[in-house]
């Protein structure tokens, strides 16, 4: 009866359409009717026009809206889906001619007598860590036991609560599900629509587009789209990171600056008369001698002392040399401050700022490729986005060749690790892979917020029960416990831990290397100095250098006084315990002075004019030697000659040109107070 009624209605509408088309045709042209033979090639002249008018007809008839496309097929119509009920038929949904289906879900739920208890459901899912994974030895198992993961555990607990059994079936095309241009759906969504499965349990995102064609339970996990990128490895701090605060060029210029300062200092000190002074103003024998402390060695040493913030005993006296020292110290101040300020950062820096920090950065560049998993909600998020940045990103991803879309998350991770590729993925998986691989990092925040739900065919009778089960699991914290179990790991040190960690040997080891090298060089130089001095003084010596060095060491260790010269040559002891070489007894006057000056070369201050009564055997004593130097003034006299009290003689010597003076005879008592005018004439 139903079919007859339908065909009558269709016939009725067809006649109506023809009538209105002919009426339209008749309005524009006179249509005459004439008989046509089927065998003649003649056609009715108005035939094609009538066909066009037929296609243009639009009208609401008994079978709904009537409209035709260019091919003459009916378009824009709907089919009502009816369900048989004891009391007749009930409309439960509408099918649209553009291939979409709208089920009136509440009507389906009316048969709520259907419960999950004792049902056996087919569950479609997709392999995705850590939601559903194959066990490592899955070949030994059958059916559901092959799988493990967060979703499998959750499904088992749900099945326990709701008393149903299930069979896990991996989705055929390995996709989550996205709409195709022809209106059908791929992936798990497609399997639910086609009733190949009763549930979809996976990291299955709830979207409005999917909600139109399938049903979702309430979400069991919340997440958002995030960007995964590999850690941008900066240079790892090495042994010599302490050099990094300055570029090699700066270090080079500092070296040049140092050499320049040394040279200028040396020259300025030579030119300036105030740097020439008499270190032994009290010794008559030496009062004609002026010294300049800025020898080449000292000129090189003084800036080093300043630069290292240690100073040295050499102090500039003249304005010119003080000027040089001042600017050098100012230079040092800035250099050292900058160095200190930068040092900590350079010793610890391991991760540099990533070149991208947000989706906008990603959209603004082409150097780093980016993409999503193919046929999932992340892809459709960009496809349907109305936000300008995301639209630009979609245009890039869509048109990029070779494709930036990946088949699976694993493929995406591999691509991130092996090329310049940023992977747009959901934050939960991002978190999971980051905890597994410390070379991965998340860039920026989440692009959106959404949830994972359990998918069901539209109008599934189990939706409320499943939702209830999920809420129960959530409230009993089972889901949280499961999440922790499957997302554990996290061996990667947190960003803050990097900061808090003390500096290790790998950060500052280099300075120990420098120290050790310095010590080795120092010992080497000491040996060279020793050998050099023994060679020079011991022409007639039979003892080998090595042996001599050994004895020297032995004495040093046993805290004996230096016995080197005594052992080497027979020495005579003179009154007062002064030891002298016999050869020195025959030396002419100037020799010890030359010796002393030589020693001053390497030590700026030790033998300066001020008295130093407690010095052991050494040049000071030589100075006091009555045979080579003028008879030593009494100790009290030497002390009186310190910079606090200047004796008459000292003053005179200091104020006179050395060449103009003849040394007073040895043993002469200090001259009487000089006449100021005599001084002037002498100059
Ligand atoms: N979970 C997503 C989905 O349901 C997969 C993705 O596109 O990232 O489609």
> When comparing pLDDT for 582 and 50, which is higher?
50
What pLDDT score was predicted for residue 353? 59
**Best CA proximity match to 273, nearest among 291, 261, 285, 288:** 291
Alpha carbon distances (Å) from 117 to 144, 267, 461: 19, 103, 12
3-state secondary structure of 103: strand
**Best CA proximity match to 332, nearest among 244, 266, 254, 246:** 254
Candidate from 240-249, 283-292, 453-462, 523-532 with smallest mean pLDDT:
283-292
The tens digit of pLDDT for each residue in 391-402 reads 999 999 999 888
Residues with CB under 6 A from ligand 1: 176, 203-205, 373, 376-379, 425-426
Given the CA of residue 187, which atom of ligand 1 is nearest to it? 9
Tell me how far the alpha carbon of residue 119 lies from the centroid of ligand 1, in angstroms: 28
What pLDDT score was predicted for residue 29? 84
What's the CA gap between 622 and 602, in Å, rounded? 18
> When comparing pLDDT for 37 and 518, which is higher?
518
Given the CA of residue 425, which atom of ligand 1 is nearest to it? 8
- Answer whether residue 658 shows pLDDT above 60: no
Given the CA of residue 203, which atom of ligand 1 is nearest to it? 1
Given the CA of residue 207, which atom of ligand 1 is nearest to it? 4
- Answer whether residue 230 shows pLDDT above 90: no
Tell me how far the alpha carbon of residue 348 lies from the centroid of ligand 1, in angstroms: 38
Tell me how far the alpha carbon of residue 425 lies from the centroid of ligand 1, in angstroms: 8
- Answer whether residue 110 shows pLDDT above 90: no
**Best CA proximity match to 317, nearest among 273, 368, 354:** 273
- 205 pLDDT band, cuts 50/70/90, is very high
- Answer whether residue 152 shows pLDDT above 90: yes
What's the CA gap between 111 and 106, in Å, rounded? 10
Beta-carbon neighbour count of residue 463 at 10 Å? 21
Name the residue of 188, 205, 217 to mutate for ligand 1: max ligand atoms within 8 A of Cβ: 205
> When comparing pLDDT for 112 and 126, which is higher?
126
Tell me how far the alpha carbon of residue 514 lies from the centroid of ligand 1, in angstroms: 56
Per DSSP, 196 falls in state S
The tens digit of pLDDT for each residue in 378-393 reads 999 999 999 999 999 9
Candidate from 13-22, 524-533, 666-675 with smallest mean pLDDT:
666-675
What pLDDT score was predicted for residue 284? 76
Binding site, annotated residues for L-glutamate: 205, 210, 377-378, 426
Tell me how far the alpha carbon of residue 226 lies from the centroid of ligand 1, in angstroms: 12
Name the residue of 127, 190, 203, 428 to mutate for ligand 1: max ligand atoms within 8 A of Cβ: 203
CATH topology of domain 2-66: Rossmann fold (3.40.50)
- Answer whether residue 680 shows pLDDT above 50: no
Mean pLDDT of the chain: 78
Q: What angle (nearest 5°) sits at the alpha carbon of residue 287, between those of residues 285 and 291?
A: 120
Q: Which two tokens stand for residue 36?
A: 């046509």
Residues 172, 504 contacting (CB under 8 angstroms)? no
- 80 pLDDT band, cuts 50/70/90, is confident
Q: Are strands 455-457 and 214-216 parallel, antiparallel or unpaired?
A: antiparallel
Given the CA of residue 377, which atom of ligand 1 is nearest to it? 9
3-state secondary structure 577-626: HEEECHHHHCCCCHHHHHHHHHHHHHCCCCCCCCCCCCCCCCHHHHHHCC
Binding site, annotated residues: 205, 210, 377-378, 426
Tell me how far the alpha carbon of residue 455 lies from the centroid of ligand 1, in angstroms: 13
Which is the CATH superfamily of the domain at 354-448?
Periplasmic binding protein-like II (3.40.190.10)
User: Which range among 234-243, 289-298, 511-520, 569-578 has the greatest average pLDDT?
Assistant: 511-520
Residues 647, 637 contacting (CB under 8 angstroms)? yes
**Cross-strand partners of 84:** 89
Tell me how far the alpha carbon of residue 204 lies from the centroid of ligand 1, in angstroms: 6
Mean pLDDT of the region 261-280: 89
CATH 3.40.50.2300 domain residues, the chain: 2-66
What's the CA gap between 169 and 199, in Å, rounded? 10
- 561 pLDDT band, cuts 50/70/90, is low
Question: What percent of the chain is modeled with pLDDT above 90?
Answer: 31
> When comparing pLDDT for 358 and 353, which is higher?
358
What's the CA gap between 511 and 505, in Å, rounded? 10
Name the residue of 378, 380, 385, 450 to mutate for ligand 1: max ligand atoms within 8 A of Cβ: 378
What's the CA gap between 199 and 124, in Å, rounded? 6
Q: Which two tokens stand for residue 94?
A: 């509408």
What's the CA gap between 84 and 89, in Å, rounded? 5
> When comparing pLDDT for 600 and 508, which is higher?
508
Candidate from 334-338, 415-419, 454-458, 661-665 with smallest mean pLDDT:
661-665
The tens digit of pLDDT for each residue in 302-347 reads 999 999 988 888 889 899 999 999 999 999 999 999 999 988 777 7
Residues 187, 178 contacting (CB under 8 angstroms)? yes
What pLDDT score was predicted for residue 436? 85
The verdict on whether omega for the bond into residue 402 sits within 30 degrees of 0, i.e. cis, is: yes
Mean pLDDT of the region 219-228: 92
CATH 3.40.190.10 domain residues, the chain: 117-223+451-487, 354-448
Tell me how far the alpha carbon of residue 449 lies from the centroid of ligand 1, in angstroms: 13
- Answer whether residue 588 shows pLDDT above 50: no
What's the CA gap between 348 and 238, in Å, rounded? 10
Q: Which two tokens stand for residue 119?
A: 């049902």
What's the CA gap between 630 and 664, in Å, rounded? 9
Residues 150, 384 contacting (CB under 8 angstroms)? no
3-state secondary structure of 91: strand
- 223 pLDDT band, cuts 50/70/90, is very high
Alpha carbon distances (Å) from 540 to 59, 470, 543, 565: 134, 103, 9, 13
- Answer whether residue 654 shows pLDDT above 70: no
What's the CA gap between 286 and 143, in Å, rounded? 109
What's the CA gap between 632 and 629, in Å, rounded? 8
- Answer whether residue 265 shows pLDDT above 50: yes
CATH 1.10.287 domain residues, the chain: 246-348
Given the CA of residue 204, which atom of ligand 1 is nearest to it? 4
Calculated CA dihedral for residues 191, 197, 203, 206, nearest 10 degrees: 70
Tell me how far the alpha carbon of residue 58 lies from the centroid of ligand 1, in angstroms: 42
- Answer whether residue 493 shows pLDDT above 60: yes
3-state secondary structure of 93: strand
Name the residue of 186, 224, 373, 385 to mutate for ligand 1: max ligand atoms within 8 A of Cβ: 373
Q: Which helix (H) or strand (E) holds 572?
A: strand 572-574
Name the residue of 204, 217, 228 to mutate for ligand 1: max ligand atoms within 8 A of Cβ: 204
What's the CA gap between 410 and 130, in Å, rounded? 11
- 426 pLDDT band, cuts 50/70/90, is very high
Tell me how far the alpha carbon of residue 177 lies from the centroid of ligand 1, in angstroms: 8
What pLDDT score was predicted for residue 629? 41
Tell me how far the alpha carbon of residue 610 lies from the centroid of ligand 1, in angstroms: 89
Residues 390, 227 contacting (CB under 8 angstroms)? no
Instruction: Take atom 8 of ligand 1 and give the residue whose Cα is closest.
Output: 378
Q: CB-side exposure of 185: number of CA atoms within 13 Å?
A: 26
| Angle in degrees, 0-180, between the axes of helices 248-271 and 296-307, rounded to the nearest 10 | 130
**Cross-strand partners of 351:** 233
Residues 444, 357 contacting (CB under 8 angstroms)? yes
Given the CA of residue 379, which atom of ligand 1 is nearest to it? 7
Name the residue of 426, 427, 433 to mutate for ligand 1: max ligand atoms within 8 A of Cβ: 426
Residues 53, 67 contacting (CB under 8 angstroms)? no
> When comparing pLDDT for 116 and 616, which is higher?
116
What pLDDT score was predicted for residue 628? 41
Instruction: Take atom 5 of ligand 1 and give the residue whose Cα is closest.
Output: 376
Instruction: Take atom 9 of ligand 1 and give the residue whose Cα is closest.
Output: 376
What's the CA gap between 5 and 61, in Å, rounded? 14
Residues 583, 592 contacting (CB under 8 angstroms)? no
CATH architecture of 117-223+451-487: 3-Layer(aba) Sandwich (3.40)
Q: CB-side exposure of 166: number of CA atoms within 13 Å?
A: 29
Name the residue of 377, 453, 455 to mutate for ligand 1: max ligand atoms within 8 A of Cβ: 377
Q: What angle (nearest 5°) sits at the alpha carbon of residue 373, between those of residues 368 and 379?
A: 90
Mean pLDDT of the region 225-237: 79
Tell me how far the alpha carbon of residue 207 lies from the centroid of ligand 1, in angstroms: 10
Q: How far is CA 556 from the centre of its chain?
A: 53
Given the CA of residue 225, which atom of ligand 1 is nearest to it? 8
- 565 pLDDT band, cuts 50/70/90, is very low
Tell me how far the alpha carbon of residue 188 lies from the centroid of ligand 1, in angstroms: 11
CATH architecture of 246-348: Orthogonal Bundle (1.10)
Tell me how far the alpha carbon of residue 447 lies from the centroid of ligand 1, in angstroms: 14
């Amino acid at each position: 009866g139903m079919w007859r009624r339908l065909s009558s209605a269709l016939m009725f509408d067809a006649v109506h359409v023809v009538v209105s088309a002919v009426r339209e045709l008749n309005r524009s042209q006179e249509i005459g009717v004439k008989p046509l033979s089927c065998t003649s090639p003649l056609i009715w002249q108005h035939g094609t026009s009538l066909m066009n008018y037929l296609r243009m007809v639009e009208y609401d008839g008994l079978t709904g809206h009537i409209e035709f496309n260019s091919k003459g097929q009916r378009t824009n119509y709907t089919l009502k889906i009816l369900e048989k009920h004891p009391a007749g038929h009930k409309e439960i949904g509408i099918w649209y001619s553009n291939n979409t289906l709208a089920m009136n879900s509440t009507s389906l739920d009316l048969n709520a007598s259907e419960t999950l208890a004792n049902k056996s459901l087919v569950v479609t899912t997709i392999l995705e860590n850590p939601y559903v994974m194959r066990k490592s030895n899955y070949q030994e198992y059958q059916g559901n036991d092959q799988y493990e993961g967060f979703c499998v555990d959750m499904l088992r607990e749900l099945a326990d609560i709701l008393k149903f059994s299930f069979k896990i079936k991996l989705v055929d095309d390995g996709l989550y599900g996205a709409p195709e241009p022809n209106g059908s759906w791929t992936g798990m969504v497609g399997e639910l629509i086609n009733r190949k499965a009763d549930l979809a349990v996976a990291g299955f995102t709830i979207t409005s587009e999917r909600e139109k064609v399938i049903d979702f339970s309430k979400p069991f996990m919340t997440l958002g789209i995030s960007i995964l990128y590999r850690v941008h490895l900066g240079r790892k701090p090495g042994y010599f990171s302490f050099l990094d605060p300055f570029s090699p060029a700066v270090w080079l210029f500092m070296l040049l600056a140092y050499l320049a300062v040394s040279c200028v200092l040396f020259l300025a000190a030579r030119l300036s008369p105030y740097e020439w002074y008499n270190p032994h103003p009290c010794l008559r024998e030496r009062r004609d001698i002026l010294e300049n402390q800025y020898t080449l060695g000292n000129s090189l040493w003084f800036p080093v002392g300043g630069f290292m913030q240690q100073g040295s005993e050499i102090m500039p006296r003249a304005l010119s040399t003080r000027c040089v020292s001042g600017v050098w110290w100012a230079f040092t101040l800035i250099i050292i401050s900058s160095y200190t300020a930068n040092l900590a950062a350079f010793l610890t820096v391991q991760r540099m700022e990533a070149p991208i920090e947000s989706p906008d950065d990603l959209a603004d560049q082409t150097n780093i490729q980016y993409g999503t998993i193919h046929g999932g909600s992340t892809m459709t998020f960009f496809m349907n986005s109305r936000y300008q940045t995301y639209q630009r990103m979609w245009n890039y991803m869509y048109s990029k060749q070779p494709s930036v879309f990946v088949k699976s998350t694993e493929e995406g991770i591999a691509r991130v690790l092996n090329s310049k590729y940023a992977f747009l993925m959901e934050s939960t998986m991002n978190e999971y892979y980051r905890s597994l691989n410390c070379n991965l990092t998340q860039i920026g925040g989440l692009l959106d917020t959404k949830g994972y739900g359990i998918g069901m065919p539209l109008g599934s009778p189990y939706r409320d029960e499943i939702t209830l089960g999920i809420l129960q699991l959530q409230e009993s914290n089972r889901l949280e416990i499961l999440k922790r179990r499957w997302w554990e790991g996290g061996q990667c040190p947190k960003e803050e831990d990097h900061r808090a960690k003390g500096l290790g040997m790998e950060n500052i080891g280099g300075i120990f290397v420098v120290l050790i090298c310095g010590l080795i060089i120092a010992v080497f130089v000491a040996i060279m100095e020793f050998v050099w001095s023994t060679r020079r003084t011991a022409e007639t010596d039979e003892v080998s250098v090595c042996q001599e060095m050994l004895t020297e060491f032995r004495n040093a260790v046993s805290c004996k006084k230096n016995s080197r010269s005594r052992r080497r040559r027979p020495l005579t002891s003179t009154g007062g315990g002064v030891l002298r070489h016999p050869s020195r007894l025959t030396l002419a006057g100037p020799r010890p002075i030359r010796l002393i000056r030589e020693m001053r070369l390497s030590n700026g201050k030790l033998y300066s004019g001020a008295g130093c009564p407690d010095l052991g055997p050494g040049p000071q004593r030589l100075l006091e030697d009555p045979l080579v130097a003028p008879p030593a003034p009494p100790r009290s006299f030497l002390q009186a000659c310190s910079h606090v009290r200047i004796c008459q003689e000292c003053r005179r010597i200091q104020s006179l040109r050395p060449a103009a003076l003849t040394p007073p005879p040895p043993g002469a008592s200090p001259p009487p107070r000089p006449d100021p005018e005599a001084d002037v004439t002498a100059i």
